[in-house]
Structure 1
Amino acid sequence: MWETLGLLLTVLLARGSCLSCETCISPGEGCTGLAHPCGPNEDTCLTLIGENSLGGGDTTETLKTCIAASDCYAGSLSITTGAGVHIRSISRCCQDDLCNQWALNLPPMNLNPNGLRCPVCFAFDSDHCDGNETLTCTGADNHCVAVSGMLNIAGHLSPFAARGCSTATACSLPLGVGLYSAGVIFTLDKALCSPAPNTSSHGKKLSEG
Structure 2
Amino acid sequence: MSSLLGFLCVLSAFTATGYSLTCKQCLGQDPSSCVGTTETCPADHACGAVRSVTKINESEMDLYFISCVALKECNSPGSISAPGRKIRRGTSCCYTSNCVPPAPQLPADDKEANGLFCGTCLTETSTDCSPDGIMECTGKEDMCLFQTTLTTGLLNSQEALRGCSTKSYCNLAKQSVKSVQMNVELTYSCTLGGNLTAIAPTDQDNAGNSHSGHHPSATLISILLLFLLCGKW
How high is the TM-score relative to the length of structure 2?
0.63
Matched, 1:148 2:148: yes
What SS does structure 2 have at the residue aligned with 1:106?
Answer: coil
| Separation of aligned partners in 2, 1:191 and 1:115 | 23
- Name the counterpart of 2:225: none
Matched, 1:164 2:166: no
Residue ranges of structure 1 left out of the alignment (5+ in a row): 1-16, 180-184
Shift of 1:176: 5.0
Shift of 1:169: 1.1
| Separation of aligned partners in 2, 1:120 and 1:40 | 36
| Separation of aligned partners in 1, 2:39 and 2:173 | 21
More helix per residue:
2
Query: Is the CA contact (8 Å cut-off) linking 1:78 and 1:87 kept in structure 2?
Result: yes
User: Given the superposition, is the C-alpha separation of residues 52 and 158 from structure 1 closer, same or farther in structure 2, using an over 3 Å criterion?
Assistant: farther
Residue ranges of structure 2 left out of the alignment (5+ in a row): 1-18, 206-233
User: Given the superposition, is the C-alpha separation of residues 98 and 40 from structure 1 closer, same or farther in structure 2, using an over 3 Å criterion?
Assistant: closer
- Name the counterpart of 1:46: 48
User: Given the superposition, is the C-alpha separation of residues 73 and 92 from structure 1 closer, same or farther in structure 2, using an over 3 Å criterion?
Assistant: same
| Separation of aligned partners in 2, 1:20 and 1:164 | 36
Shift of 1:132: 2.1
Aligned residue-pair number = 177
Shift of 1:164: 0.7
Matched, 1:80 2:77: no
- Name the counterpart of 2:209: none
What SS does structure 1 have at the residue aligned with 2:80?
Answer: strand
**Could you give the per-residue CA deviations for residues 128-157 of structure 1, whole angstroms, max 9, x where no partner exists?**
2221210010111011111212258xx634
Query: Is the CA contact (8 Å cut-off) linking 1:25 and 1:31 kept in structure 2?
Result: no
**Could you give the per-residue CA deviations for residues 20-70 of structure 1, whole angstroms, max 9, x where no partner exists?**
43443112x544657954326465211100122369722110001235x46
| Separation of aligned partners in 1, 2:195 and 2:90 | 27
- Name the counterpart of 1:91: 91
How high is the TM-score relative to the length of structure 1?
0.69
Superposition RMSD on alpha carbons, in Å?
A: 3.3
| Separation of aligned partners in 2, 1:197 and 1:38 | 43
Query: Is the CA contact (8 Å cut-off) linking 1:76 and 1:90 kept in structure 2?
Result: yes
User: Given the superposition, is the C-alpha separation of residues 41 and 191 from structure 1 closer, same or farther in structure 2, using an over 3 Å criterion?
Assistant: closer
Letter in 1 for 2:172: L
Shift of 1:191: 2.7
Structure whose CA Rg is larger: 1
